[in-house]
Each structure stands twice: as structure tokens, then as C-alpha cells.
Structure 1
Amino acid sequence: MLGWALTFLVIALIAAFLGFSGVAAASAGIAQILFFVFLVLFVIAMVARAVRGRAP
């Protein structure tokens, strides 16, 4: 998921450089949403790992 966020970020940067403001804004928005979803899932996984403890 982090890879997708980085991909959309690169698309947004290229589109902004070329002057496609609508595409750049949409891609940046998608990248931001994907990044925050990744961050939330990462924190949930870390908390679950800490609560469950080390696997045998």
C-alpha cells in the first residue's frame, strides 16, 4: 500500500510539473489517503503484535 501511495505521489509531482493541475490534485489526494490508511494499518498491526506477544 505504501508503494501505491508513492506511485500516486510521483504521478502528482510529474503532473504538477507539466501543468496538469487537476490531475496533480487528484493524484496527491489519493496518495495522501493511501498513506494515512497504510499508517493506521501499520499502527494496528504493531499494537496487535505487542498485545499478542512473541509467537512460539
Structure 2
Amino acid sequence: MLSWALTFLVIAIVAAVLGFGGIAGTAAGIAKILFIVFLVLFVVSFIMGRRAP
């Protein structure tokens, strides 16, 4: 999932450089959402993995 977030981030940067505002905004929004979801899943898995069985 992190790779998808990074992919959309790269697409947003390329689109911003080329001047495509709508595409850049959409790709940046998707990248932000995916990154937050990845971060939440990482924290949850980290907490669950640290618990004693």
C-alpha cells in the first residue's frame, strides 16, 4: 500500500511540473489518503505485534 501512495505522489509531482492542476490535485489527494491508511495499519500491527501472547 505504501508503494501505491508513493506512486500517486510521483504522479502528482510530475503532473504539477507539467501544469496539470486537476490531475496533480487528485493524485496528491489519493497519495495522502493511502499514506494515512498505511500509517494507521502500521501502528495497529506494531501495537498488536508487541502484545504478549
TM-score category of the 2 structures, normalised to the smaller one: over 0.9
Q: CA RMSD in A?
A: 0.9
Query: Counterpart of 2:42?
Result: 42
Query: Counterpart of 1:13?
Result: 13
CA distance in 1, matches of 2:51, 2:44: 11
CA distance in 1, matches of 2:14, 2:47: 36
Query: Counterpart of 1:32?
Result: 32
Moved over 4 A (4+): none
For structure 2, the residue ranges without an aligned partner over 5 or more in a row are none
Identity rate, percent:
60
Partner amino acid for 1:5?
Answer: A
Shift of 1:51: 1.1
Relative to the length of structure 2, the TM-score reads 0.95
